[in-house]
Amino acid sequence: MNNRRIDNSFLDLKIKIRQNNLPQNNVFVLDAFHGEGKIWEEIKKTRADIKIIGIEKINKKGGNSIYGDNLKLLDIMDLSKYNVIDLDCYGIPFKQLEKIFKNKTIQKKTIIFYTFIQSIYGCVDKKLLECYGINDYIYNKCPSICFKKGRDAFYYYLNLNKINEVNEITKQNKTYGCFRIQG
């Protein structure tokens, strides 16, 4: 099995879910996994009212970015400035969502876009599984069952944080989705 990470393998789907769920005007995006910014660069071609701040670990890409670890920054940033937060990561953005849900500055109706990728035996954060009721004993006894519960645990976690409705597109093992902060 090929475990190679491919940036924006379904770029058209990522763009579609964002275009169909953006606020009507004055879009201010915090892109927590900015990379080269290809997704928002494409969307900006059809929407002039979009402003983007990217977070990148390494200062090598230029543009309008903050450099640092998004987990540390999401703890301390004033998120009230953004009506869109993008979590287009490899894997499951559970740790980033934890930071966002705990940040007191997050505003109601902020739209969160996410990428959820779990391979057959892909790693699911143990803390996410704990929220779902799977403890270390169960995990250690039968990890393969736990891997199959990653998506269920993710939706359960969102529900615990008052997120009852998500909009998603799935292709292969990749899900591109969004929801609104309910407050």
Q: What is the pTM of this model?
A: 0.90
Q: Write out the residue range of the structural domain in which residue 36 sits.
A: 11-119+162-180
CATH number at residue 57: 3.40.50.150
Q: Lowest-pLDDT range, 2-16, 29-43, 96-110?
A: 2-16
Mean pLDDT of the region 9-38? 93
C-alpha pair distances (Å), 138 with each of 117, 120, 128, 133, 149: 23, 18, 14, 9, 12
Chain mean pLDDT for the chain: 88
- 86: in domain: yes
pLDDT in tens, 35-69: 888 999 999 999 889 999 999 888 765 568 899 99
- 132: in domain: no
The percentage of residues in the chain with a pLDDT greater than 70, rounded to a whole number, is 90
Number of domains in the chain: 1
- 134: in domain: no
The answer to whether 30 and 86 are in contact (CB under 8 A) is yes
> How do 167-171 and 65-67 pair as beta strands?
unpaired
Mean pLDDT of the region 159-166? 96
Residue 2 pLDDT: 44
- 92: in domain: yes
Q: Which residues of 15-27 are buried (b: 16+ CB within 10 A; e: fewer)?
A: bebbeeebeeeeb
Report how far residue 60's alpha carbon sits from residue 157's, in angstroms, rounded to the nearest whole number. Answer: 35
3 has a pLDDT exceeding 60: no
- 79: in domain: yes
Residue 100 pLDDT: 98
- 109: in domain: yes
- 150: in domain: no
pLDDT in tens, 99-132: 999 999 999 999 999 999 886 656 788 889 888 8
Name 166's Cβ contacts closer than 8 Å, sequence gap at least 6: 155, 158, 177, 178, 179
- 141: in domain: no
